[in-house]
Amino acid sequence: MSNKIIKTIPKSGFTLIEVMVSVVLFTVIILSVTGIFKMAIDAQRNAIAAQNVQESLKYFFEITGKEMRMAIKNDGACDPADVPLGSIFGVRGFSSFNEILTFENYHGECVTYSLVEDGDVLRFAIARKNNLGTKVDFISPAKILLTTLHFTVKGGPALPKQQPLVTMSLKASSVGTSQFASEMIMQTSISSRYYRN
């Protein structure tokens, strides 16, 4: 008989410490990637909220600007308490955050711009008054929260050779969680194309 020596090779494996270290590293990497992904999603939500507010205000200024440029001298279509006869624009304070602009448009309607409560939010309203009555339209979407509306008019009956210039300032934010509420203050100045004699 032959004597054979059998050599055994030890089986390789992981120790408990190696397994624990690999689990901790894997957890740190997953949490880091998840945090970066969440930051990217939050940044995108903020950008979308800001874009919604900006697009809504752009539409708002486009609609109002067109009508304000075509405003004419009040010949009695608007109440003289709101717009003095012979003037183009009249502004009165409704509250500390909401002023009302009144003028006569080129259709002979008395137009009023103001913030009006619609449910729980303030929305921008255009009221047009003619012989048939008053029609009110909201032009700000429900997803935009308007908080402040101010008008400043330069020029008027005291300065007959100067066209009146209306500066409109609006503060708005997106409706939603405060984390993704984008707030903006926008301002524009518009003058009427109507020239005084």
Q: Is residue 139 part of a domain?
A: yes
Q: Is residue 120 part of a domain?
A: yes
List the one residue out of 95, 98, 91, 94 whose CA is nearest residue 148. Answer: 98
- For the chain, the average pLDDT equals 82
Q: Is residue 161 part of a domain?
A: yes
pLDDT at 27 over 90: yes
Beta-carbon count within 10 A of 118 CB: 13
3-state helix, strand, coil in the chain (%, to 5): 30, 35, 35
Q: Is residue 31 part of a domain?
A: no
CA 28 to CA 41: how far, in whole Å? 20
Task: Name the domain count of the chain.
Answer: 1
Q: Is residue 53 part of a domain?
A: yes
User: Which pTM does this prediction carry?
Assistant: 0.71
> Strands, DSSP E only, in 70-143?
89-93, 99-104, 110-118, 121-130, 133-138
pLDDT at 160 over 70: no
Structure tokens at 115: 């913030």
Cα→Cα distances 98→20, 48, 74, 151, 168, Å: 63, 27, 23, 9, 11
pLDDT tens-digit profile of 64-122? Answer: 888 898 888 888 888 888 888 888 888 888 677 788 999 998 888 999 998 888 777 78
